[in-house]
Structure 1
């Protein structure tokens, strides 16, 4: 198992962070603490995948915004929330977007439609992805370290550790859904 993770783990981290990344990066950090992955290579893989995904979305929206907005109906319900954030925080929303689970992609779409300079977006996106990858990667790593100090030999209780990680990810997901619901009420969205 460890050999497979070392061989393909970083590619998987890259591919998964093209779509979603918080949970996979926390898990990669935890696995790095156990010696199954290298922490810095995991962070680099997540950074590259996340940065590339937002750059692709940004440029696709610049070129085909009407077509994409019609095709991506699932993002329609988050459009009002994303627009609220983009209007309130301007280009700084690019830095915040990675921490607003569930509306990151719509925020990038809105920012692209806002006419922000492409170079400015790229610089902000790189900074945001760098801070995000380091913070979540190290959070997973230090969680593993704290769990080992608290529990002892973590490999002996690995099943419980994984259960705890998935529980934390689930709790973060539920909190984000509650936050999105509250923002919908705040912005007056009726959908």
Structure 2
């Protein structure tokens, strides 16, 4: 992260390209699990704060990268996801029936998942892949993806801009919050699964 931060601050206008690429990778399927795009978006707000980058251009680059990355994830899911899930899913306990249910879920609640998944850690990199794998209509995906990507970008860039040198505090706080949200979600899903299992008995 420090290397990327220093690179952006030294390269001037090319820094916008780095922000675009980092945001795209952070949102692309699986790559987003290891690329610190969220941190870089925060840091880019700080770079705009100290005058090294233009605030409007930073927001445009980060938002564009986020949308492109999500579209890459969607296309990968669309072309590779379903066959891969059908082939390897049973080894992970995912049956064709489970996949059919997932497709039904995205048909009913896909827009909410795409919109809200943008704000939850690792889900940001996986939801587009699942949306593509379950054949969520592309136009619907694109609309809700953009509706989530733009405010997400604006919030994080302006947060880094407003906090200035204290942007690292926000990074730590957001990381803890995402962990709590993910943990709570997993707990709720587990409880619902146990309740349904008992009901079947």
Could you tell me the TM-score, scaled by structure 1's length? Answer: 0.72
Spell out, residue by residue over 1:5-25, the C-alpha distance to the aligned partner (whole angstroms, 9 max, x if none).
413211111121123332211
Quote the residue 2:168 is aligned against.
Answer: 166
1:70 shift after superposition: 8.9
Gaps of 5+ in 2: 1-5, 27-36, 93-97, 194-201
Q: Deviations over 1:27-62 (max 9, x none)?
A: 111110110111111111111111111101101111
User: Where does structure 1 lack aligned partners over 5 or more consecutive residues?
Assistant: 145-160
Task: Tell me if 1:28 matches 2:44.
Answer: yes
How far apart are the structure 2 equivalents of 1:171 and 1:186? 23
Question: Considering only aligned residues, what root-mean-square deviation do their CA atoms show, in Å?
Answer: 3.1
Rounded Cα–Cα distance in structure 1 between residues aligned with 2:147 and 2:21: 20
Q: Structure 2: how far apart are the matches of 1:93 and 1:72?
A: 24
Task: Decide whether aligned partners of structure 1 residues 102 and 38 sit closer, same or farther in structure 2, where only a CA change above 3 A counts.
Answer: same
Distance change in 2, residues 1:171/1:184 (3 Å)? same
Confirm or deny: 8 A CA contact 1:62 1:113 kept in the other structure.
Answer: yes
The number of residues matched between the two structures is: 164
Point out the more displaced range, 44-53 or 175-184.
175-184
In the TM superposition, what whole-angstrom CA distance separates every residue of 1:52-107 from its partner, at most 9, and x where no partner exists?
1110110111111146559999xx8xxx9xx6x95884312211121111211222
- 1:39 matched to 2:45: no
User: Residue in 2 aligned with 1:48?
Assistant: 64
For normalisation by structure 2, the TM-score amounts to 0.69
CA shift in 2, pair 1:166/1:7, >3 Å: same
Q: Distance in 1 between matches of 2:185 and 2:71?
A: 26
